[in-house]
């Protein structure tokens, strides 16, 4: 995060050396470097951190609530619904204030997630929710394609760049518009984290522990909507961050629960978006590419590799170990004496020539014959 942050603030036109960043921020409006850093690069960097953290936390919430590592906002209709809610007024030429866009995104995301849960039977089966969410997401994307056909050339370019997820030309107004929603989502996320650990056990075990699985799943979806929709309204659906960040958190902390893994997932989401925004801004300069294209290009192969490595680790932990040969302990004095006693031929055994003598001498010393019995009968 430190390396990508320095690159995001220093590289570009004009180039600002890392040791001059603090001076450029302090100069602010007095120099060109100060204006570029404080008014363009710093808001974009802060937005990348906040957006990545929200998407990473939302991805972990969905995966833990549905008990499926493939449960991401893109597969549940949440991101597509938010994008549809923002793109529809633009195509229909409806002039709405910027403050209304997060509300439209939240409405679209709630519509997509609600349709997914309703079609899957209110979330009774996590696998059914995931499959139904993929179908709902496809339907919402088809509606977006219809809007793109209806749009003119200028609106089409804006919608296309928005749908790929871009941080270009974002200012402090876009950043400050996220804070009211974060004040709602962060406390709810903290309260939801312990319930996610119980949900991981399964619906029946969660019910036995006093957690209503269907209501908890609806609450988790609502929290994910509040986290995803404002970010999508500002910078579009940045793809696959909610998929990659939880897997990075699991890979680096495999034994941690949902409570401990949640801040790590948010941190890795911020790292992913910040790292992806650097080549998005500089790879084809002076033309900027969408950051969502880079997160999808780098995130999907990395996420698959993390899932495979995690699967191998779990299989190795579950594999039964080979039986270990038990070695006999070295005989001590007592065992040596017992072994020597076993080697001595017992009196009266068939084939023993000197059994009477050795047996009579040994038994006469240890066990005196009872009254009325001869030594010969005792030896026998």
Task: Look up residue 316 and give its two tokens.
Answer: 């190795």
Confidence of residue 41 (pLDDT cuts 50, 70, 90): very high
List, for residues 164-173, the tens digit of each pLDDT value.
888 988 889 8
* CA–CA dist 225, 79 (Å, integer): 9
Q: Which of 170, 353, 165 is nearest to 241 (CA)?
A: 165
* CA–CA dist 356, 347 (Å, integer): 6
Cα–Cα distances (Å) from 198 to 168, 216, 257, 282, 318, in that order, read 40, 10, 10, 44, 22
Among 15-19, 66-70, 300-304, top mean pLDDT goes to 15-19
Query: Is residue 73 within 8 Å of residue 242, measured between CB atoms?
Result: yes
Q: Which of 180, 165, 186, 174 is nearest to 54 (CA)?
A: 186
Confidence check: pLDDT of 334 > 70: no
Confidence of residue 286 (pLDDT cuts 50, 70, 90): confident
* CA–CA dist 239, 227 (Å, integer): 15
265-292 residues labelled b (16+ CB within 10 A) or e (exposed): bbbbbbbbbbbbbbbbbbeeeeebbbbb
Residues 6 or more apart whose CB falls under 8 angstroms from that of 243 comprise: 59, 70, 72, 74, 299, 300, 303
Among 62-76, 105-119, 257-271, 285-299, top mean pLDDT goes to 257-271
* CA–CA dist 68, 242 (Å, integer): 13
Output phi, psi for 235, to 5 deg.
-120, 10
**Region of residue 156 (phi > 0: left; psi between -120 and 50: alpha; otherwise: beta):** alpha
Least confident of 199-203, 273-277, 374-378: 374-378
Query: Is residue 65 within 8 Å of residue 133, measured between CB atoms?
Result: no
208-219 residues labelled b (16+ CB within 10 A) or e (exposed): eeebebeebbbb
pTM for the full predicted model? 0.77
* CA–CA dist 140, 163 (Å, integer): 12
């Amino acid at each position: 995060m430190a390396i990508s942050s320095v690159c995001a603030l220093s590289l570009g036109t004009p180039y600002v050396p890392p040791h001059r960043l603090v001076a450029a921020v302090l100069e602010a409006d007095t120099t060109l470097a100060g204006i570029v850093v404080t008014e363009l690069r710093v808001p974009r960097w802060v937005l990348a951190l906040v957006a990545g953290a929200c998407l990473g936390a939302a991805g972990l919430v969905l995966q833990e609530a549905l008990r499926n590592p493939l449960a991401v906002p893109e597969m549940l209709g949440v991101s597509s619904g938010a994008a549809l809610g923002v793109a529809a007024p633009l195509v229909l030429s409806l002039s709405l204030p910027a403050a209304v866009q997060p509300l439209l995104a939240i409405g679209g995301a709630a519509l997509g997630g609600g349709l997914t849960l309703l079609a899957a039977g209110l979330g009774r089966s996590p696998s059914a929710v995931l499959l139904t969410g993929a179908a709902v997401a496809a339907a919402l994307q088809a509606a977006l394609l219809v809007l793109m056909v209806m749009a003119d050339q200028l609106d089409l370019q804006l919608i296309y760049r928005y749908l790929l997820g871009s941080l270009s030309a974002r200012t402090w107004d876009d950043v400050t518009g996220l804070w009211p929603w974060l004040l709602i989502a962060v406390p709810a996320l903290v309260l939801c984290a312990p319930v996610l650990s119980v949900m991981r056990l399964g619906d029946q075990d969660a019910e036995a522990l006093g957690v209503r699985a269907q209501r908890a799943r609806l609450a988790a979806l609502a929290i994910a909507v509040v986290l995803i929709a404002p970010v999508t309204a500002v910078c579009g659906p940045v793809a696959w961050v909610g998929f990659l960040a939880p897997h990075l958190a699991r890979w680096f902390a495999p034994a941690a629960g949902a409570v401990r893994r949640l801040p790590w997932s948010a941190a890795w989401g911020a790292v992913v978006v910040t790292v992806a925004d650097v080549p998005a801004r500089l790879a084809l300069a002076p033309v900027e590419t969408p950051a969502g294209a880079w997160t999808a290009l780098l995130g999907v192969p990395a996420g698959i590799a993390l899932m495979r490595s995690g699967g191998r680790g779990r299989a190795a932990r579950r594999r039964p170990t080979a039986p270990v040969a038990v070695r006999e302990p070295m005989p001590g004095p007592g065992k040596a004496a017992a072994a020597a006693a076993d080697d001595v031929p017992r009196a009266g055994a068939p084939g023993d020539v000197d059994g009477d003598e050795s047996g009579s001498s040994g038994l006469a010393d240890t066990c005196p014959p009872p009254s009325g019995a001869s030594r010969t009968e005792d030896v026998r």
